Structure 1
Amino acid sequence: MLCGPNKQIASGVLKDDNGILLIDTEDIINRWEKYMNKLYEDNGRGPMPVIGTESGPNILKEQVEFVIKCLKNVKAAGPDGIATNMLKLYGDTVCLYLLNAVYKSGKLPTDFLHSNIITLPKVNKAMDCDKFRTFYSR
């Protein structure tokens, strides 16, 4: 119970697409993975281009400065722990180096390919994925 008799939540239980209750941890993880893949599916762009086999000009310092300048002030740090204020003070040189290194190698750091997601129910006794809020965590 959270606070009071009407604040009970069901934990560790989720429904699949057909409304069948999932209790096994592995089944719940698979359901969340399927839901998140569908939620963030991007069919509008076509296949991703292959990088690493093509070459081009380096990313310019002015481009990085422009993007950093457009960031909103006083925002909380993201999963990387870097606040926008820090990027605005020191980020242009570091970001430029990292972006060009990724661009030249054609390989994304493995940290860019994974994320941890925290789910919080929007309503009491939520058992459908769309009844949860999702937050990214480090």
Structure 2
Amino acid sequence: MPAAKFKFIVSSSDSLQGFEAENLLSDGRARTKWKGKAGVPMNSVILQMDREHLISSIDVGNESSALIEILVAKSCEYQPIYHTIVPSSSFMNPIESRSSKNCNRVRMFSSFDMIPAVSKQKWDLIK
């Protein structure tokens, strides 16, 4: 299944210089990263996709985040309501997190990792 295209950044947490959320909009020819600021309780980015998609898999590269959660919504709603598609998932265990070991990982979430009622619908916002 082809990868969804990100159209623009709706919003994002503060980023490290050189690793702004706009880097996620690259055409895929270059590896680019978005890095939120360290030491804050939560970093997030909201991406608008080119159209509504059925989401069957999501690949996430990570640097130093212990946990992630993926939410989706529809931009056609006046006030988009975000629904959890991938529940809170760990990238690092507590020992790795405290010692800053194994900070870089990629996780590939398949439909088996997603909430079925949410993954069966089409979405165009991902957080």
TM > 0.5 fold call: no
The TM-score normalised by the length of structure 1 is 0.22
More strand by share: 2
More helix by share: 1
Q: If you compute each CA radius of gyration, which structure gives the higher value, 1 or 2?
A: 1
